[in-house]
Amino acid sequence: MARGDGGATTRGKRAAPRTQKRGTTGTGDPNLVQLLTPEGERIDSATGPDGTEYRVDFTDEEYRGLYRDLVLVRKLDAEATALQRQGELGIWASLLGQEAAQVGSGRALRTQDMAFPTYREHGVLYCRGIDPIMPLGLFRGVDQGGWDPNEFKFNMYTIVIGAQTLHATGYAMGITMDGRIGGDEGEAVIAYFGDGATSQGDVNEAFVWAGVFNSPIVFFCQNNQYAISEPLERQTRVPLYQRAAGFGFPGVRVDGNDVLASYAVTRHALDNARNGQGPTLIEAYTYRMGAHTTTDDPTRYRIASEVEAWRAKDPLARVKAFLEKQQIGDESFFAEIDEQAKQEALHLRERVLAMPDPQPSTIFDHVYAHGSPLVDAEREQAARYLESFEGSAH
């Protein structure tokens, strides 16, 4: 891990240099920062569009930890999709294909950093140490998201597209006002959103504010190429990362299927932010392998060959290939991780099935911090009404 906390796992023995070839720059394209090729070749360093050099320096144990994260996140997501198919969840927004962008950026956060997610950031949620059961309540319809955003530094999921980018910006302004900028102890904010969201007024207003107030924030756009059925071209005619220039801060496009590059770019941007250098827009270039949500039918708007081309860039397969090549992961290691993922998924399933429906009276809870005579009266009236059925034929 580059430094400090937020590491994938405990530290191990420092790895031998893994560089394929000195000075390799991946795609060689500053417009796509990459540190691990789809074939699992490690790239020493990559240069971003503004000349920033990105590199990572992980121990063997940390590489293995990242792989473990990716596998677990994928498995839990698959379990949730299955639960939806079996009628246990009302809907599910799968992250399949976006694991590297989420785990890479999620692991780049320091403990004190705050994240503002959409409804698809189950991988970031996992990295924040939140019980993966948490978002399932929302999708099952028993609550509206149950974790404490302040405790975990991970805000509630946001369904209205783009709204959270402004909340994140305001939070970042608060960091500046509190004088919490500077050094490793300084705080930064990350706001997640999709390519479609970049069309929203809110997101553009967030860019304006963050730029004007030089706020400690990273805008992390997962460009998974589609907003439900609409391809990227329906949202923009310039590459999204280039938008940042017009708002006065740097933009960088990273290979979102590359967990190492996602980590490196995010960590760099967060550290810049916490050190007073203002916002960065990161465009994690990736692909949504599944449906938008379980109610969507992607065959209506995209072709199989496109999906296949992206499958070849799978974020897990490339880390596995790398671990194998470097002999830092063997059969028993992979089998152990698969077993662990299976067990955790099973555990998740059991707990979802055991989630009770809420009591009707919960409808009236927490409408106001200081209560309301109107709501109180309705609570009583509803209770009396429900009691009237007791013992009746209803």
Ligand X SMILES: Cc1ncc(C[n+]2csc(CCOP(=O)(O)OP(=O)(O)O)c2C)c(N)n1
Q: Which residues are catalytic?
A: 288, 292, 301
What is the nearest approach in angstroms of ligand X to the Cβ of residue 36?
Answer: 23
Output the residue with the shortest Cβ distance to ligand X: 194
Phi-psi region of 17 (alpha: psi -120 to 50; beta: other; left: phi over 0): beta
The residues with which 53 forms a beta bridge, in sequence order, are: 47
Q: What's the burial of 84, exposed, middle or buried (CB within 10 Å: 0-12/13-18/19+)?
A: buried
Q: Is 362 in the site for other proteins (CB under 8 A)?
A: yes
- Angle, CA of 178, 181 and 182, to the nearest 5°: 150
Q: Is 194 in the site for ligand X (CB under 6 A)?
A: yes
Q: Is 351 in the site for other proteins (CB under 8 A)?
A: no
> What residue 353 binds from ligand X, other proteins, none (CB within 5 to 8 A, per partner kind)?
none
Q: Is 367 in the site for other proteins (CB under 8 A)?
A: yes
What is the nearest approach in angstroms of ligand X to the Cβ of residue 120?
Answer: 5
Q: How many residues bind ligand X (CB under 6 A)?
A: 16
Q: Is 91 in the site for ligand X (CB under 6 A)?
A: no
Q: Is 11 in the site for other proteins (CB under 8 A)?
A: no
From 155, 200, 214, 286, residue interacting with other proteins (rule: CB under 8 A): 200
From 15, 228, 307, 375, residue interacting with ligand X (rule: CB under 6 A): 228
From 27, 86, 111, 144, residue interacting with other proteins (rule: CB under 8 A): 144
Other CB atoms within a 10 A radius of the CB of residue 178 amount to 9
Q: Are 116 and 162 in contact (CB under 8 A)?
A: no
How far apart (Å, rounded) are the C-alpha atoms in residues 351 and 357?
13
How far apart (Å, rounded) are the C-alpha atoms in residues 118 and 79?
20
Q: Is 86 in the site for other proteins (CB under 8 A)?
A: no
Q: Phi and psi for 260 in degrees, rounded to 5?
A: -70, -45
Tokens of 170: 């305001």
How far apart (Å, rounded) are the C-alpha atoms in residues 188 and 393?
58
What is the nearest approach in angstroms of ligand X to the Cβ of residue 15?
Answer: 34
How far apart (Å, rounded) are the C-alpha atoms in residues 157 and 192?
10
> What residue 120 binds from other proteins, ligand X, none (CB within 5 to 8 A, per partner kind)?
ligand X
Q: Which amino acid does the sequence have at 253?
A: R
Helices marked H in the chain = 60-85, 99-108, 122-127, 134-140, 149-152, 163-177, 201-212, 243-247, 259-274, 304-311, 315-325, 331-353, 373-387
What is the nearest approach in angstroms of other proteins to the Cβ of residue 33?
Answer: 26
Q: Is 137 in the site for ligand X (CB under 6 A)?
A: no
- The window from 4-12, 51-59, 311-319, 382-390 that contacts other proteins (CB under 8 A) reads 382-390
How far apart (Å, rounded) are the C-alpha atoms in residues 64 and 322?
10
How far apart (Å, rounded) are the C-alpha atoms in residues 320 and 254?
20
> What residue 367 binds from ligand X, other proteins, none (CB within 5 to 8 A, per partner kind)?
other proteins
Q: Is 161 in the site for ligand X (CB under 6 A)?
A: yes
Polymer length in residues for the chain: 394
Q: Is 139 in the site for other proteins (CB under 8 A)?
A: yes
> What residue 224 binds from ligand X, other proteins, none (CB within 5 to 8 A, per partner kind)?
ligand X
Site for ligand X in 287-316 (CB under 6 A): 288, 292
How far apart (Å, rounded) are the C-alpha atoms in residues 27 and 36?
10
From 2, 15, 78, 91, residue interacting with other proteins (rule: CB under 8 A): 91
Q: Is 383 in the site for ligand X (CB under 6 A)?
A: no
Interface positions with ligand X (CB under 6 A): 120, 159-161, 193-197, 222, 224, 226-228, 288, 292
Q: Which residues bind other proteins (CB under 8 A)?
A: 90-91, 119, 137-144, 159-161, 196-197, 199-202, 227-230, 234-235, 295-297, 300-301, 357-360, 362-364, 367, 372, 374-375, 378, 382, 385-386, 388-389, 394
